[in-house]
Chains A and B, each alone.
Chain A
Amino acid sequence: MSTDPRFDGPGPDEVWRTALAEGRLLLQHCRDCEATRFPPAMVCGACGSPDLEWREASGRGVVHASTTVREREGGYNVSLIDLAEGARMMSRVENVDSGAVRIGMEVVARIVPEPEPFVVFDPAEGGAA
């Protein structure tokens, strides 16, 4: 076997999911240009470098855009969150009425363990609403 050692180890989706299952929120950063990468990938979207490393994310973010999906049983929130580290992810804001979620609202990540671990956000304590 002569595989390229730069790409050894678990793939980026596996790393992301394994970390979430351990209660950790990780983000990829480019060692060449410092850009963040989300969703996880093998190369930097900003400069094309394959030299990415995982770092612990702060979990702090700001609502970039928000919608309420209307169902017969009621509505629920879907938002795009800009993380403090620069990545943008789809998620939802909980513990506040979906209609009250505003662009620019400060939020904090929380990992929901079941059924598959995933990330939601709560309004930040004392944050600008």
Chain B
Amino acid sequence: MSHPLRGRAAIAGIGNTKRWNAPGRLPFDQLQEAAILALEDCGLALKDVDGLFCAISSSGLPVLNAAERLGINVRHADGTMVGGASFLFHLQNAVSALETGLCEVALICYGSNQLSAGGRLASMPDPQHYETPYKPRYPISSYALAAARHMHEYGTTRENLADVALAARAWANLNPDAFARGPLTRDEILSSRMVSDPIARADCCLVTDGGAALVLTRADRARDLAKPPVHVLGTGVAIGHRQISAMPDLTTTAAVESSRHAYEMAGVGPSDIDHVMVYDAFTITTLLFLEDLGFCPKGEGGAFVSSGAIAPGGTLPVNTNGGGLSCNHPGMYGLFTIIEAVEQLRGTCGERQVGGAEIALAHANGGVLSSQATAILGTAATI
């Protein structure tokens, strides 16, 4: 028997400002534009929205700010803040709220000006007193420690990590909306400035501005809206820790649990997935998630990537927009994994389109490999 939430809600509209460097715009400006685009995409209006979900790095009260600016009256809201995975936590809540009638039209939205505001990653103030004296570069050093451990345990190399960045750039070169396009070589990646060993500049995601939004309704209503519905087949979330010192195993993330929940709800497994989006904050995160989501055995992520599997023409299309490494990264990138998955399932991706994509998996990460959230999406044919 299938899970009672499988396919019951659908993503009806998506909004993506694609303004990766937009001086003179506040994070909430990007958010509002994305919200309008998403509603227009499916033919609904702001007055229809009664469920609001958002997170934003620079605001501790994002739901209040967004509701005021958008001028909407909501009867359900969620401002869960778990870093870049927040929006997939929101998605799970939205699916359940739609099914139980707590809301009829759910808007999930985000905006950032982190590049034009100064180019520094703007994190929510959340000092960690047991780390501060040692001045780890946040969050890079935490990911570097995980990468060092993965290399030690499994023989993963910097070349393997570089191949993650190469695949992302190859996909970005097929996406006219990607921020970082153009030729890139393994040698350029390996010789880029070291930031926190073994993570070098080219192993790190971009710093951009941006805004994104989703509109969800129950599936029966979505069928009557402007665009083909993309059904939410399964969701799962998990929280492992806050600080990297509290991560039980530096080479295995809570994505194991979040994806298990999502696969169970969707009634599918890794071999059923046609298209994959994983939050690539750093090259090591792509390796960890490919393993933890079940696309290759633990420890074999490096060899899997270096075989060419995730690049254009490979066996598993991963991060087809170019990812956080080459498309965009406004600070909390998670929502963009869903945006690209929806576009692939709608078949609107042009040169980078994955042929015959029916089921997509989007996975997001927050903090320092801390929060994990997985969503499995499908076309009408999967219902």
0/1 string, B163-200, CB within 8 A of A gives 1 = 00000000000000000000000000000011111110
Is the pair B137, A69 in contact by a Cβ cutoff of 8 Å?
A: yes
Is the pair A69, B245 in contact by a Cβ cutoff of 8 Å?
A: no
The A/B interface has a contact count, at CB < 8 Å, of 74
Is the pair A80, B129 in contact by a Cβ cutoff of 8 Å?
A: no
0/1 string, B197-208, CB within 8 A of A gives 1 = 111000000000
Is the pair B133, A78 in contact by a Cβ cutoff of 8 Å?
A: no
A interface residues, Cβ below 8 angstroms from B: 13, 38-39, 45, 64-70, 76, 78-80, 88-92, 99, 103, 116, 118
A88: chain B residues at CB < 8 Å are: 245-246
12 example contacts (A-B, Cβ-Cβ < 8 A) are as follows A38-B245, A45-B246, A65-B250, A67-B196, A70-B195, A78-B134, A80-B250, A88-B245, A88-B246, A90-B130, A90-B134, A103-B149
The listed residue (B148, B193, B250) touching A70 by CB distance below 8 A is B193
B interface residues, Cβ below 8 angstroms from A: 129-131, 133-137, 141, 144-146, 148-149, 152, 193-199, 243-246, 250
Q: A39-B130, A76-B135 are in contact. Are A65 and B243 (CB under 8 A)?
A: no
B199: chain A residues at CB < 8 Å are: 67
CA distance in complex: A76, B246 (Å): 22
The listed residue (B130, B133, B145) touching A67 by CB distance below 8 A is B145
The listed residue (B137, B149, B244) touching A90 by CB distance below 8 A is B244
CA distance in complex: A110, B116 (Å): 43
Is the pair B194, A90 in contact by a Cβ cutoff of 8 Å?
A: no
B196: chain A residues at CB < 8 Å are: 67-70, 78
Is the pair B144, A67 in contact by a Cβ cutoff of 8 Å?
A: yes
A68: chain B residues at CB < 8 Å are: 194, 196-197
Is the pair B134, A67 in contact by a Cβ cutoff of 8 Å?
A: no
B244: chain A residues at CB < 8 Å are: 80, 90
A118: chain B residues at CB < 8 Å are: 133-134
Is the pair A64, B149 in contact by a Cβ cutoff of 8 Å?
A: yes
Is the pair B145, A92 in contact by a Cβ cutoff of 8 Å?
A: no
Minimal beta-carbon separation of A81 from chain B (angstroms): 9
Is the pair A92, B134 in contact by a Cβ cutoff of 8 Å?
A: yes
Is the pair A65, B133 in contact by a Cβ cutoff of 8 Å?
A: no
Is the pair A103, B152 in contact by a Cβ cutoff of 8 Å?
A: yes
Is the pair B148, A90 in contact by a Cβ cutoff of 8 Å?
A: no
The listed residue (A45, A89, A103) touching B245 by CB distance below 8 A is A89
Minimal beta-carbon separation of B216 from chain A (angstroms): 35
